[in-house]
Amino acid sequence: MVRWIPFIGVSLLWAILSLRDWHQRRYRRIWWWLGCWGLNALTWTPVAITLGSSVGQIQTFWIAGGTWVIWPLQPASVDLSFWLNIVMTIPQGVIWQYNHSQHRWRQWLLAGLATGLTLESGQAIFNWLVGLGRWVDINDVLTNCTGVIIGAACMLLLQRHYQVLK
């Protein structure tokens, strides 16, 4: 049960932030908080799903109560979970661009890096504090960042085509 505390605590934080924005009629921002909550549900719960068939071929390190992958793009690490990490953050990129239509690729890059680093840092911290049992993987930072950039670029194209989305 203790391993669920990080997710429960963060869920309460996202609920408070969403309610605050609801009361201040900032409805677009609520989507951002809901997206953050969804990403946290996928990454900060003690339920780990391995979709790779060659996990044993990835060079890992045991650091602070968790498994770390610090060498990016090892051939065995480019598996289904690699691509799904991109897909899972595309909606955050769409929401980012929807909320900040004047922003472009530099801000997308920063938002993507912040998303990936936050998720992986949270996994590292919670591995250390409560034994979350999640991998801390540099590839996830790269793929999460890529997903945010792809989502924001797609939304920009939609905004240019349909002026009402701004």
So what's the pLDDT on residue 102? Answer: 85
d(CA 159, CA 40): 28
pLDDT at 166: 61
Q: What six digits make up the tokens of 150?
A: 């792809």
| pLDDT tens-digit readout, 102-146 | 878 899 999 999 999 999 999 999 999 999 999 999 999 999 999
Domain boundaries in the chain? 2-165
At residue 164 the predicted structure's pLDDT band, cuts being 50, 70 and 90, is: low
**How high is the pLDDT of residue 51?**
66
Give the pTM: 0.91
Model confidence over 4-63: pLDDT tens digits?
999 999 999 999 999 999 999 999 999 999 999 999 999 999 987 766 556 678 899 999
Instruction: Please state the φ and ψ torsions of residue 137, each to the nearest 5 degrees.
Output: -130, 125
Which pLDDT score is estimated for 52? Answer: 58
What was the pLDDT predicted at 101?
84
Residue 38 contacts by C-beta under 8 Å, 6 or more apart in sequence?
91
* Residue 149 pLDDT exceeds 90: yes
Q: What does the buried/exposed string (b/e) look like for 146-157 if buried means 16 or more CB atoms within 10 Å of the residue's CB?
A: bbbbbbbbebbe
What per-residue confidence (pLDDT) applies to 48?
72
Task: Give the mean model confidence (pLDDT) for residues 66-71.
Answer: 93
